[in-house]
Amino acid sequence: MNLDRATSGKLLDAKRELRARILRDRDAKPARARATASASIAASISTREDFALSRNVLLTLPFGSEWDTQALLVAALAHAKTVALPRVNLATRMLDLYAITRLEHDVMPGYRGIPEPCAHCAPLDVATIDWVLVPGVAFDSDGHRIGYGGGYYDRLLPLLRVDAHRVAGAFELQLVERVPAASHDVTVEAIVTETRSISIAR
């Protein structure tokens, strides 16, 4: 038991250290460079076959120095996809999903200022989602990721259908040689940056 606790503690410390380093680097990326890179990421994802064929997509909107996903969201709505955004449920410590149809009408700052769907938006069952944009702070070429430490996507991803596509977008600087990961951590199947796309065996 003590060994397990020690191992778990080391893993958490390693994740904390990596998270802090990548966030510093991401925050330091100039706004114009972030905008240019974001446009490249969105364009690459929007032309992926898995995205094009999907009908119900779970996306996120940018928070802080994250890459700007708005162009991808607009493209999804323009192609008549059902677009879901997550809302933090503090009571259950889960993400609840809601459909949005108009960005300017259906979204407002929510948990910690993160853009979330408004109260009037219709709820969606996670089982309807066939494509998800997985956010994260750091990723590696094996598909491992770390987020902000709240564990919300770690709890959400296992609830998705087995055939739901899990794709991450990230700046190139967010890719690292190895993300500290436990055996139960859920991976993504692809990572798209401003310069390349990495496919990972499911």
Could you tell me the residue ranges of all domains in the chain? Answer: 2-199
pLDDT in tens, 133-186: 999 999 999 999 999 989 999 999 999 999 999 999 999 999 999 999 877 788
**Which residue has tokens 């991450």?**
168
> What integer pLDDT is reported at residue 181 of this predicted model?
84
Amino acid found at 136: G
Report yes or no: 190 and 167 within 8 Å, Cβ to Cβ.
Answer: yes
Residues 6+ apart with CB under 8 A from 73: 59, 61, 83, 103
Q: Cβ distance 134 to 153 under 8 Å? A: yes
Q: Mapping DSSP to helix (H, G, I), strand (E, B) and coil, where does residue 132 land?
A: strand
- Average pLDDT value for the chain: 94
* Residues 184 and 150 sit within 8 Å (Cβ to Cβ): no
Say what the pLDDT of residue 125 is: 97
Angle subtended at Cα 64 by Cα 92 and Cα 84, rounded to the nearest 5 degrees: 50
Give the residue-averaged pLDDT of 35-52. Answer: 98
Q: Show the tokens assigned to 32.
A: 């114009």
Residue 8 has pLDDT above 80, yes or no: no
Which amino acid would we find at residue 177? E
| pLDDT tens profile 58-71 | 999 999 999 999 99
Please give the pLDDT value at position 7.
Answer: 65
Beta bridge partners of 197: 192
Q: Do the Cβ atoms of 67 and 106 come closer than 8 Å?
A: no
> Which of 186 and 42 is assigned the larger pLDDT?
42
Number of Cβ within 10 Å of residue 77's Cβ equals: 17
At 175 the three-state DSSP class reads strand
Q: What is the largest CA-CA distance in the chain?
A: 54
What number is the average pLDDT over the span 120-134?
97
- CATH for 2-199 is 3.40.50.10420
CB 22 within 8 A of CB 137: yes
